Each structure stands twice: as structure tokens, then as C-alpha cells.
A and B are shown apart, each in its own frame.
Chain A
Amino acid sequence: MSFSIRKSLHPGLNLGEDHGDDRLEAETSVFGFWVFMMSDLVTFGMFFAVFATTMPLACCPGPKELFDLGSVAWQTAFLLASSLTSGMAILTLKQEHASRSASTKKLVFWLLVTVLLGCGFLYREISDFIAMAAAGGPPTRSGYLSALWSLVGLHGLHVTGGLIWCLVIVAGIVVRGVDHRWKLTLLRWAVFWHFLDVVWIAIFSFVFLGGLL
């Protein structure tokens, strides 16, 4: 089954024709990763469902006492910017790395900027968690807080994983160059990173902003 005539082989940004076989092999690899992302979305959905059905208790600190809207705004800004920079990285991959001879400097630059922004996100988020705990809102205090910490924490864990993954990719590119495997890995990583921002939209909207309404 020849798909090379079709424009888009898999969801997400497709490598161009000049990438040859890499483009064709990306079809299965990236599609498969999208499928896995869907299952991950459902996992997040389940944490959302539990969060949505757990009410803050009168006895214990709730959204109004614990949420720092400014900090959440910063986290959103960091993550959104990192989405843009990850997009820049993938564009660089597509436009400049059809051949193995191109310099990896620009690609690594964008990836490291993304990591930096992601670390900014995590730093703010962890600070917020520490502050919440200090204000009497640790996850062991109530069902609502358990749901809150686990939902936001699950996202934070994914971000951490994504950052480690990105650093591994950077190391791989520096050591081995942008070969077939690292190209496909980058495409998958970019999908992952964008989905983290998608989930964050839901989190800042319904957890933080929604909680403060």
C-alpha cells in the first residue's frame, strides 16, 4: 500500500518528501504514538472525572485559600511558550535535517529552550504545591485535595518525564547526529509535549479558574 502520494501520513507535522524513507516509516511509529496518547488522555480524563465529582469540604482549605492565580498564569505562559519553541524545533527538524550533514545547533537550541521553559513551569508548580501544603492543604487533608494534587501532580509528572526525554534526545543528537531513530523519537516527543499543553488547558480552566469562580 503506497501512501507516498498522500499529503499527510500520520497526524501531526509530517516530514517532507525529501526525508525519503524516514517519512514513510514515521507513519506507523507516529500513528502508534498518537494512539498511546489517546489512552493517556483517557487516564487524565479519569482523574478529571474524580476531581469533578469531589467537592471541597467546609472544614478544610479550598480553592480560594490555596490557589495563586498569578503563579498559575506564569505556569500557563511557560508551557504555552514551550509549546511554541518545541514547534520551532520540529520545524527545524523538518526543514533542515533531510540530510544527515546539517548542523544540529539550531535544533538543540530550540530543544534546550523548551527544557528551560519546562523547568520554569515545574519550579513554579512545585513551589505552589509546597505553599499549599504549608497553608494546610496537603493531599492527605481531604478528598478534594487528594484529587487536586493527583490530577495536577500527574500532569507535572508527565512534564518531568517529557523533559527527561527531551534531554535524552539532545544527548542522542549530540552523540549520534539526527539519524533515523532520533528523528522519529523527536516527532513522537513533540506530539507528547503538545498534548501536555492541551491537558494543561483543561487543568487551568476547570481546576484553577473554575475553582475560583
Chain B
Amino acid sequence: MLDAIFGRLTWDSIILVQAVEQPNINTFITAGAAAMMPVGGVMIVALLTWMKWWKPLFEWLTSVDHKKIGTMYIIFAVIMLFRGVVEGMLMRANQAVGLNGGFLSSDHFNQLFTTHGTNMIFFVAMPFLFGLINIIVPLQIGARDVAFPRLNQISLGLTAAGGFLFMISLMIGEFSTGGWTGYPSFTGRLVNPGVGPDYYILAIAISGIGSTLTGVNFSVTIYKLRTAGMSFMRMPLFTWTALCTSILLIFAMPPLTACCAMLGLDRFLGFHFFTNDMGGNLMNFINLFWMFGHPEVYILILPAFGVMSEISSTFSGKRLYGYTSIVAATMCIAVLSFTVWLHHFFTMGQSATVNAAFGVATMLIAIPTGVKIYDWLATLWGGRIRFTAPMIYLCGFFVLFTIGGLSGVVLASPTLDYQLHNSQFLVAHFHNVIIPGVLFGILAGIHIWFPKIYGFRLMEGLSRITAFLWAIGFILAFMPLYQTGLMGMTRRTVAYEDPALVPWMIVSGIGALILGCAFLSILLTIFVSVLNRKKLMVPIGDPWDGRSLEWATPAPTPEWNFAVLPKVDCRDAFTDAKAKGTAYQPIEKYEDIEMPANTYYGFIIMIMASGLGFGLVWHMWWLAIASLLGAIATAITYAFLPQKQYIIPAAEVREIDEAWRRSAREGRGITRDDEGNEANQGLARPDNITNP
């Protein structure tokens, strides 16, 4: 009877019990980390109760506003980033003392590299990017919201459900030890019948479905909701990269869902997709996984490239150089990314012909990226450059990402890859493209667009320190790994035997410490900025003399985005309007605005998906079935419930909008010299630059 209710869940599954029964450093570390969850939960409940924030919380959780959903994605990502950084630091600490065995058990270390990778890709990078795209793209195309706001909420719920499964594995049970790539037959039922791989499959499959739906949502938004006059070739670059990212999501997530489903069928029902006998073939998993996995990394980097485009033009006060070539390059990258997946498994036994074909395709993909870098450099040339935090990130990107890209071209040669595959060289390469690429793009994007959503800038000094900490921490932590890779050190090993590796590992460990400080610096920056927000307010909404439509709204942006949907007739429409003097002019006619009402749909789906996942992992079949039926019932119910809207009266819109426009027309505005100080109210005055 108890078996039927609890499946294979027992008291021993809980880490706190394990820490008592088998006290050692591994259980202590894990228990300590797991304990942060209930403690944190209690603190949050206390805070919400004390500040009477429950009602606002539920307004947020039931909101379908793209700005709120985007913010929730980012908050989720920051929390997961904390865990991810700690995981990385633990591994680096272990390696620093890892000669002939570190302080972690191999099982613990294996779980760490698995959770670190899974977490960073699915629950940090992707949510961060979805958050930025969610907030900014509708504003950049002059729309009121995304095409399917409720679906947006559901996607967030599914991502959160995946995150829930991922986090609960820390407390109850354990996670997979098969790496973020989870190859069978190691993750098959025979070798690993425990809950680890099940948590892994369900966490990424469930959030993967959310990501697919996000791709559908964003692509339809960009295709169908662009404002009057905004043809494709007049869209800002961040929107272009968001479009290409969505296309990648639509076509690349299904292979992941498929191979997770197949592995799940193997594990739960005894199928033979990937077993070693009876006709199974693990290469099918590897093939499918990387058919997802390669476009996935372009899903991560393309929005970051979009942010780099925005930075290079905005913070040099110049039009983006070579707009058409950057668009073409972005599209090339998107299409080519589907043709190179085999380079992740050159060593798995294919013939030289196959390897060479994919190797060549991989090298080809470097070309459009190079085009973009030259275009960004050309954009900066002759511009009025401000060395703000985003510019630091951009410059760091130029140098560091290029090195990472070059090491990628090295790995693209099958011959060289045979030596370097699964060595620390590979670890260095992908961190080298992810941190200076994706992370710098994310952090820069947050810095640029934070004032748009919250109405005040982040403190410039602290932001610059954060940027430098990330750059230095990254260099110290990961550049040594190129060397150790060339010296033959394998990845994903808890210990090593070559004493010559020790100094490099120590430097890398110091780098990891600095990266930890860099993360704390982000939190500190936000915290101090909130404290000082009155001095940092930029209510008129254009703190950086921006070029695209998102800057043509007050800060914080009202929920309807634009009182009247703008008409554009060129690229960099806002810059054009400011130059012609038509920005901020009064509007004659205001109309009532209809906005979709809040709904519990996404929240309920999140709960159902979490229940489904948890029930399947622990073989609590009643929970799984009830959750699945609950999700279906929810969908059917919402099909019958009327889809509520609420109306914002024209008078209210007029009041807020006219006040904003008046303050903009009557304000003095600042030149770029005063961008970083209190005079910046979010209104820009023309600067003396040669090339607008």
C-alpha cells in the first residue's frame, strides 16, 4: 500500500537523512545546499507576509504581460545561476587539490558536472535569453504584447516545472551522473536504474516543450505583429537575432524531446532504442541529441550577438555598419547550424568522408560570425564611444570570444579533434564562447534595458567592476584549461595523476573564486542601485540615446507599451524621429486599449507538469496520471471559459502619455557626457558626432 503511494520514494532518498546516516563531506555539502531551499522558502514566505506582498505576487504569477513574464524568466535564471556558479566553484576547488584525488567522491563530482551543465544551459542561459527577448522584442517591433500571451505564460510554467524537478533532485534523490549530454547506455536502465537519469530526462523534456512553444510564440510575433512600416529590413538587429533564435527553437527542440522520450521509453517500459543488445543503438541517441545540441548553442549565442549589435551602435552613437551583411550572416548561421552536428562526436567511428564533410561545414560557420565581428568593429570606428559597462562587455567579447571561436575552428578539424575531444581543451573552448559570448551579452543586455523596465539605471561604477570581475575571473579560470587539455588532461574526471597540472589547476581555482565574486557583484550592483534609485531615475525613458522603438516609451514602460502604435519608415526609427524633431510630439486621438486579463492557466500547468515529472521519477503512478489528466482537464476548461479582456480607458492612457510627452518636450536633455550621472533623466540631446 505504501509502495503504491510513495513508489520508490523512501526516507533514505532525502539528503538530510542521508547526511545523518552517512556523514561525510559529500553528503554535508549536498545537504547544506539542499537545506538552503526550505530555509530560503521560509524566508521568502516571511518577507511576503511582512511586506503584504502576497496579492502583488499573485498578480505577477497570473500575468500575461510580456514584460512581467520576461522579468520572471530573468529572476528564475539568476537564482539558478547562483547554483550553477557554486557547482562550478566546487568542481574547480576539487581540481585545484585534485592530484591523486580531491575532496569530493567521484559520484558527487559526476553529479556536479552533470547538474552544472544541465543547469547552465537549460535553466540559466535559455531563461535569461527568453526573458530579454520577451521584454524587448515586442517593444522593438512596436507591438503591445507577443502573439500568444497565454502560451507565453505556459512556456514559463513549463520551464519552471523543469527547474523545480532539477532543484528538488538536490533534496530528494539524486541527479544523473551522465553529463548534460546523458548518453545511454550509461543512462539506460541496466546501468543506472535509479532516479538520477529520470530526473534529467523529465527536467529537460518538460522545459524543452516550453522552449518549443516559446519559439513558436516569438516567431509568429515577429512575423505578424510588426508595426506599420516596419518591414523585415527595418527591424533592429536584436529582433532579427530573436527571429532566427525562434526558428532554431522550433526545429531544434523536437530532436531533444524525441531522444528524451525514447530514453524514457527504454527506462520505463524496457524498450530497446539505446540498449547494448537486442538491436539497440546508442548512436541514435548521440545523433539525435546533437542534432538538438548544436542548434542549441546557436540559440544561446544569437541573441547575445543581437545585444552586441545594439551595444556597438548605441554606445558609439553610430548607425550599425553593414546592416544587410549582419542580417545575412545571422540567417546563414541559423541555417548552417543544422548541418554541423556531427562535430560533437567525430570520434565515434564514422568514416573519414563523413567526418570531413561535417568538419568543412563547421569551419564554414565561422565565416558569417567573422563578418559580424568586422561589422561591429566598423560600427565603432569613428563613433562617439562611451566606455560604459556594456562597452566593456563588448570589448571583452571582441578579444575573448574570438579566441574561443578560433579554438572552435581548431576542434573543427576531425584529425585534431581526435586528440582534443573530451580533454580540458574542449571545456576551455565552450566556456570561452559561452562566457564572453552568451554571458557578456546577457549581462550587457540587462544593463542596457534595466532602466527601461524599472525606470532607473544600474550604478555605473559597480557595473564596470562586475564586468571586469567576470572578464578576469573567466580568463584565470578557463585559459589554463587550454594548456592542460594540450597536456592531456581529460574532462569530467574527479582526480588526475600528472603533478605538472597542479599549478594550472590552482590558477583556475583562483579564477573560479573571482567568478564567484563576480556573481555576488551582480547582486550587489542591483541591490545598491535599488537603494539609490531616486538618483538614477530616467523617467523619460531614453537614457542611452537609443535608436530603436523600445526607447520611445516612458520608463518604466506602461503595460500597454505604446499609447498609439507607432508608424516607421526607416531603420533606427527613433533616431530618425529625434533628428527630425517628430519624437515626443503630442498625439491627437487616444483610444481605449484592450489588454488580456490575468489567468491562472500557466501557473496550473506548472503545477501539473511538476507533479507529472515527480510522479514519473519516483514511480508514483497515481500522481503522474492525476497530473496528466489534470493538465488535460485544465486545457479543456480554459477552452470553455471566456477569454477575458480588460479595457484601459482612453482618458487614462491620454493622461499618462501626455504627461510623458510634455516632460520630454520641456526637458533640457543631456549630451553623452552626462550619461552616467544624475542629470540623465532619460532625455537625449544631440551630441557632436560626425556619423549619425
Contact B216 A32 (CB under 8 A): yes
| Cβ contact of B271, chosen from A40, A56, A139, cutoff 8 A | A139
Give chain A nearest CB distance to B158 CB in angstroms: 14
B255-A54 in contact (CB<8A): no
A35 touches B250 (CB 8 A): yes
Is B636 interfacial (CB-CB < 8 Å)? Answer: yes
**Which of A31, A49, A139, A181 has a CB less than 8 Å from the CB of B223?**
A31
Q: Does any Cβ of B come within 8 Å of A192's Cβ?
A: no
Chain B residues, Cβ within 8 Å of A36: 212-213, 216
B639 engages A143 (CB within 8 Å): no
Residues of A within 8 A of B291 (CB): 46
A185, B216: Cβ atoms under 8 Å?
A: no
A28 to B225, Cβ gap below 8 A? yes
On whether the beta carbons of B288 and A46 are closer than 8 Å, the reply is yes
Measured between beta carbons, the chain B residues less than 8 angstroms from A142 are 272, 278-279
- A213 on interface, CB distance cutoff 8 Å: no
Q: Does B219 contact A (CB under 8 A)?
A: yes
Interface of A is mostly: helix
Give Cα distance in the complex from A40 to B280, angstroms.
24
Is B273 within 8 A of A147, CB to CB? yes
- In A118-158, the 8 Å CB interface with B consists of 139-147, 149-150
Contact residues in B for A197 (Cβ distance below 8 Å): none
Contact: B284 with A38, CB < 8 Å?
no
Out of B148, B213, B223, B258, name the residue touching A47 (CB < 8 Å): B258
**A28, B254: Cβ atoms closer than 8 Å:** no
B250 lies within 8 A of A143 (CB): no
Among A38, A54, A175, point to the contact of B281 (Cβ < 8 A).
Answer: A54
On whether the beta carbons of B640 and A143 are closer than 8 Å, the reply is: no
A5 within 8 A of B: no
Do the beta carbons of B262 and A50 come within 8 Å of each other?
Answer: yes
Contact (Cβ within 8 A) B250 A150: no
Q: Tell me if B273 and A143 are in contact (CB < 8 A).
A: yes
Whether the Cβ atoms of A57 and B278 lie closer than 8 Å is yes
How many residues of A sit at the interface, in one of the four size bands? 35 or more
**B147 contacts chain A at the CB level, 8 A cutoff:** yes
Q: Is B353 close to A, CB under 8 A?
A: no
Residues in B neighbouring A11, C-beta threshold 8 A: none
Asked if A42 lies at the interface with its beta carbon under 8 angstroms from chain B, I say yes
Contact A150 B265 (CB under 8 A): yes
B interface: dominant SS:
helix
**Are B271 and A150 in contact (CB-based, < 8 A)?**
yes
- Which chain A residue has the least Cβ–Cβ distance from B250? A39
Given A42-B254, A139-B269, A146-B265, do A168 and B639 touch, yes or no (CB 8 Å)?
A: yes
Q: How far is the CA of A53 from the CA of B281 in the complex (A)?
A: 9
Query: How many angstroms between the C-alpha atoms of A40 and B250 in the bound complex?
Result: 9
Question: Contact between B259 and A143 (Cβ–Cβ < 8 Å)?
Answer: no
Say yes or no: B226 contacts A175, CB within 8 Å: no
Within the complex, the shortest CB–CB distance from B382 to chain A, in Å, comes to 36
How far apart sit A164 and B632, CA to CA, in the bound complex (Å)? 10
- Residues of B near A181 (CB, < 8 A) are 639, 643
B257 at the interface (CB under 8 A from A): yes
- CB neighbors of A among B283-317 (8 A): 284, 287-288, 291
A55 to B226, CA, bound (A): 49
The CA of A47 and the CA of B639, in the complex, are separated in Å by 30
The one of A1, A42, A147 that contacts B251, using a Cβ cutoff of 8 Å: A42
- The B88-141 residues at the A interface (CB cut-off 8 A) are none
A143 touches B253 (CB 8 A): no
CB distance from A53 to the nearest CB of B (A): 6
Q: Which residue of chain B has its CB nearest to the CB of A139? A: B271
Indicate if the CB atoms of B272 and A143 lie closer than 8 Å. yes
Chain A, 20-46, CB within 8 A of any chain B CB: 27-28, 31-32, 35-36, 38-40, 42-43, 45-46
Question: Once the chains bind, are A35 and B216 in contact (CB under 8 Å)?
Answer: yes
Q: Is the CB of A143 within 8 A of B281?
A: yes
Any A CB within 8 A of the CB of B366: no
A139 CA / B266 CA spacing, docked (Å): 10
* Most B C-beta atoms less than 10 A away, residue of A40, A46, A141, A185: A46
How far is it, in angstroms, between the C-alpha of A42 and the C-alpha of B257 when the chains are bound?
10
- Tell whether A54 pairs with B254 under 8 Å between CB atoms, given A35-B216, A39-B215, A142-B272: no
Contacts A/B (CB < 8 Å), 14 sampled: A1-B226, A28-B147, A28-B220, A28-B225, A32-B147, A35-B216, A38-B251, A39-B250, A42-B255, A45-B254, A46-B254, A140-B270, A142-B272, A172-B639
With A46-B291, A147-B273, A150-B261 given, can you name 7 additional A-B contacts, CB distance below 8 Å? Answer: A1-B226, A28-B220, A42-B254, A47-B262, A144-B279, A146-B265, A146-B272
Q: Which 8 A-B residue pairs are closest in the complex by CB-CB distance?
A: A143-B279, A46-B258, A146-B271, A43-B254, A42-B254, A32-B220, A142-B279, A143-B272
